[in-house]
Amino acid sequence: MGVTVTDDRQSGVDDAASPFRRRLLEGLDASINERGYRDTTVADIVRHARTSKRTFYGEFSSKEDCFIDLLRTNNEEMIKRIRRAVDPEADWQQQIRQAVAAYVEHIASRPAITLTWIREAPALGAVAQPLHRLAMSAFTDMLVDLSDSPGFRRAHIPPITPPLALIIVGGLRELTALYVEDGEDVHGITEAAVTASTAILGMARSNVRRAGA
């Protein structure tokens, strides 16, 4: 407890950020793991970051501003991790499993941040709305891109539509939140996520077959 995360890949902190900004984001990350977002103060963040409030306010206007940036960088790292894990030449069902496994491993490494993204961020209201829209758009775009690969084309499966991709993302977020809230091992969502995603994408293949009949 209370140890600042220093691995940028695991913390999801943007490599392009200034050193002080990275430390502050890592400080917030560590405090959320220690006491939760609501009870975290700017003093907690700078304590973990081993810096000052003056430095904090040189980078962020408020705790909420820092929080939103932390969630943004975490979401970006999650998407990068999933894209890296998927082999576009693999069988389409294997690609789905690769994507789900990468998602689950990221969540397992950062459950507290994930839960705050799903449960706490909406409470910020309008200030967090752009983050939410950007995140959902980025995740759905990723699913559309991943389903437009050689492995899917060999199976005559068209790229998933954005509305269907959004259904997958929304359902997976809620299932993830329930597992984390209940203290369950998030690896337990793997088979349900794979089954649901395979069914939705497989339905697209069935529609193509019927259209060609």
pLDDT (average), residues 22-30: 96
pLDDT of residue 172: 95
* 181 compared with 6, residue with greater pLDDT: 181
147-164 burial code (b ≥16 CB/10 A, e <16):
bebebbeeeebebbeeeb
**CA separation for the pair 147, 193 (Å, rounded):** 16
pLDDT of residue 124: 85
pLDDT (average), residues 2-14: 40
pLDDT exceeds cutoff 70 at 72: yes
pLDDT exceeds cutoff 60 at 116: yes
pLDDT exceeds cutoff 90 at 13: no
pLDDT of residue 207: 55
Q: How far is CA 15 from the centre of its chain?
A: 17
pLDDT of residue 10: 42
Cβ distance 4 to 22 under 8 Å? no
The pLDDT tens digits of the residues spanning 38-69 come to: 999 999 999 999 999 999 999 999 999 999 99
Residue 122 contacts by C-beta under 8 Å, 6 or more apart in sequence? 128, 132
pLDDT exceeds cutoff 70 at 195: yes
The pLDDT tens digits of the residues spanning 143-162 come to: 999 999 999 999 999 999 99
Query: DSSP for 117-131?
Result: IIIIGGGGGGGGHHH
Residue 90 contacts by C-beta under 8 Å, 6 or more apart in sequence? 98, 151
Cβ distance 163 to 109 under 8 Å? no
- Cα Dmax for the chain: 68
pLDDT of residue 95: 98
pLDDT of residue 206: 57
pLDDT (average), residues 126-148: 92
The total of other beta-carbon atoms located within 10 Å of residue 39's CB is: 10
The pLDDT tens digits of the residues spanning 154-184 come to: 999 999 999 999 999 999 999 999 999 999 9
pLDDT (average), residues 10-36: 81
pLDDT (average), residues 75-95: 97
Distance of CA 42 to CAs 2, 24, 76, 108, 152, Å?
Answer: 14, 10, 24, 26, 47
pLDDT of residue 11: 44
